[in-house]
Structure 1
Amino acid sequence: MMDKATALIDRLKQRLARAFWFTLALVFLIESWLWDNVKEWLRALEKALGVEKIEPWLEGVVARLSPRMTLALFAVPMIGVLPLKVAALALLARGHFLLGVLFIFAVKALALGVEAFLFDICRDKLLQMQWFCRLYSLVLDVRAWAAMLVSPIRPRLAELRRALRAYAEGFVGGDGGLSRRIARLRELARPKRGV
């Protein structure tokens, strides 16, 4: 009886460990996706606002900085978003859960995008520091490990994404489903005349 309980506990520990590492890998890949994509959105915003000269100007500034000063520049967005994270926590503390969580995700995405944008500019200077070079190599290794760990379920995730998109399109409706629902609700809410 004790052997069965021990075996069950061992299997449970293994499953929990696998679930933990899988979740960690998934979070890392989501952050990597944000890193890769939000910087491109920021570049598009830069063009839309007509401030494309920021990047070459910033490259010139970084070229004149030492690697340590470049690291300080690279750290500014991480420090700059701290007040925004505190504001998000204040929203959560006041009971605005959904708004607080959305604010946290928006701040996180923006910070990652700015960091990725800056990293492209600062990379060469940062990699002159040996410890940073080792850290960068470690991050690339972890990203490859995470991709390998998650790769068996990618087809299922893609199918889930397609199903969610189809559901959302059906709800919002290319066929005007959401528009029809809103029009129907307006019709029901209007006071009846001449009855």
Structure 2
Amino acid sequence: MKVVLATHNPHKVAEFQQIVAATRPDLEVIGYDGPEPVEDGVTFAQNALIKARAAFAHTGLPALADDSGICVDVLGGSPGVFSAYWAGQKKDATANLALLLDQLRDVADPHRTAQFHSTIALVTADGAERTVEGVWPGRLAHRASGSGGFGYDPIFIPDGQDPASERSVGKFTDAEKQSQSHRARAFQALIPLLAAL
């Protein structure tokens, strides 16, 4: 069975394919090729639903959409829903990361706590709309490290690591990230809903 993922971001499609394959190998996640809707929601849930509705309307397939970002405590939860656009409308991941590091330049380690948030929306042919959430707590490093992942991964250090071997998500293997990430946590909450498809 096919499920469309409402994103033009190939990194998210690949990540979702890996997450879904581990739990629902009968579901094929395909990318969305339709028009990009205006994400004018002020919460992750609102934006995820906007995208899922658009993908469902365009394809007629059950649609999943993820809206996610990094929320930095000392910045009052920002960038939050503006994570992809933090440095401007170009969605420049390198510029976004550099700006965030610059804004936190003088912030000491105890105050660099942050969380990756993911809200996944599911819209189905029966008109049902549901959302689930996943949160991955951690803190931000002072400089980027690692070439894996994308976005803010190279500066995010998840909680629960051995202090002697703390690594950014940029140094995680795909398998490590897929088993721990905010999207993986949200997807675990989504599994019962997908069972009904």
What TM bracket, shorter-length normalisation?
under 0.3
Quick check: which one's strand share is greater? 2
Query: Which is richer in helix?
Result: 1
Find the structure with the greater CA-based Rg: 1
> When the two structures are superposed, what TM-score results if normalisation uses the length of structure 1?
0.20
Comparing both chains, which one has the higher relative contact order based on Cα–Cα distances under 8 Å and sequence gaps of 6 or more? 1
What TM-score, normalized by structure 2, do the two folds share? 0.20
